Amino acid sequence: MSRIGDGARIVSLDGLRGLAAVVVLLHHSLLTIPSLAAPYYNGKAPDGILARILVTSPLHLAWAGTEAVIMFFVLSGIVLAKAATAKSFSLAAYFPSRLVRLYAPVLAAVAFGALTILVSPRTASVASDWLASRPHGYSPVTFLQDALLLSGVSRTISPLWSLQWEVLFSLLLPVYVYASRNLRLRTQFIGAIALTTLGYVVGLPVLMYLPMFAVGTALGTHWGRVEALATAISDRRRGNLSWLVVAIVGCTLTIGYWLVLPLVSGPAVSAAAGPVTLVGVTLIIVCAAFWRPAKWLLSTTVFAWLGRISFSLYLIHEPIVIAVAFLAPGVKWTLAISIPLAILIAWLFYRLIERPTHKLARGIRASAALDETVHSGRKAIQ
């Protein structure tokens, strides 16, 4: 969920991030429907025709929320690695500004989530397994837990689960970049996918998710080489056809778990879902960055705007969806009200919270960089 300075920004990837945030919004909105929530809990394909189409067909790509979060992890790796390899990068400036940009919106989002629970208590009986599993409120301990993101999260605002890994990756960024600079690109991909697979097999979250950032770091650190390979594909006689195949394969792998669910299920399939999705979203990201039609579409005004508010939308949408679901029971009302309302409030959250935070972080970064320059100058004089 990260962005870097305008000079290094890849606009189409901002647009892809915005699209992914909308996918997460649709994901949580549709989970208020019992037949669509059930497969996430029982691991079985639904019985109803409409539910089966939405869950186990390519249409699932439109609301593949978990898969969108994996995409966020890879995108964060790309963005921060590209920033860290720039000549102007300074660790002294990076750490305080990065933590401010993450924590200030998170603190505001936790407070907003607590407010929505006061307005719309989560106490009514609901049929959706997902709604029924939402915590009913905050205690001082769980509020602090979600605000700090250091010892897991309470799931009162479930999207925060990914932020704990964003924070840890942000702190470990120098280690990631150092390793990436000293390893071959192919070795990094194979190693990251192997570690992620091991994480899913043994059920260890630190191995599931932190290697996903390594895939993005590898791409960002070696972006010039990736760009050269992409240019070679584009310059081929049937370059667009080649990119179309890559996009189709990427989309298929991303939701591969759901496509095979009617045929086969079980622990082995679940364990394979994460690493297969990781490969799929990586292919989609490369297409978004280098395939001209995708790059053009994702750089249009609508997607650029969605990219701008994507972090805000990601942070605040779920409490709105849940509040509407409890205040106005009925799937039609939940979908009709919560989706546009979440986008509107996300825009306000961006204007009032996230954008001022960006300015504060830039000021901190500039001040830290200046202090470092002055300190280096004094040492040179001495």
Structural domains counted in the chain: 1
The reply to whether 180 falls in a domain is yes
Tell me the per-residue pLDDT of 1-19, one tens digit each, with 9 for 90 and over.
Answer: 544 433 357 999 999 999 9
Q: Which residue has the tokens 């280098």?
A: 290
- The total of other beta-carbon atoms located within 10 Å of residue 292's CB is 12
What are the start-end ranges of the H helices in 135-159? 140-148
- Confirm whether 342 is domain-assigned: yes
| Closest listed residue to residue 254, CA positions, set 297, 284, 219 | 284
pLDDT digits 0-9 by tens, 288-337? 999 999 999 999 999 999 999 999 999 999 999 999 999 987 778 889 99
pLDDT at 369: 61
pLDDT, residue 312, reads 98
Q: What is the number of residues in the chain?
A: 382
Task: Please report whether residue 42 resides in a domain.
Answer: yes
- Residue 247 forms part of a structural domain: no
Q: How far apart are CA 366 and CA 94, in angstroms?
A: 10
Query: What's the maximum distance between 2 C-alpha atoms anywhere in the chain?
Result: 77
Stretches where the chain sits below pLDDT 70 are 1-8, 368-382
For residue 50, the model assigns a pLDDT of 95
Q: Which domain holds residue 15?
A: 6-222+300-381
Rounded distance between C-alpha atoms, residue 230 and residue 10, angstroms = 15
CA angle, 26 then 71 then 160, to 5°:
65
C-beta of residue 64 within 8 angstroms of C-beta of residue 23: yes
C-alpha distance from residue 250 to each of 254, 280, 284 (Å)? 6, 4, 5
Percent of the chain with pLDDT over 90: 84
Please state the pTM of the whole predicted model.
Answer: 0.94
Question: Could you tell me if residue 242 is inside a domain?
Answer: no
Quote the radius of gyration of the chain (alpha carbons, Å): 21
Q: Is 375 part of a structural domain of the chain?
A: yes
Q: What is the pLDDT of residue 240?
A: 95
Q: Could you write out the three-class secondary structure of 156-180?
A: CCCCHHHHHHHHHHHHHHHHHHHHH
What pLDDT is recorded for position 87?
A: 86
In a domain, 29, yes or no: yes
Spatial neighbors of 247 by CB under 8 A, at least 6 apart, are 283, 284, 287, 291, 294
pLDDT of residue 4: 41
Residue 241 lies in a domain: no
Backbone torsions φ then ψ of 88, nearest 5 degrees: -85, 0
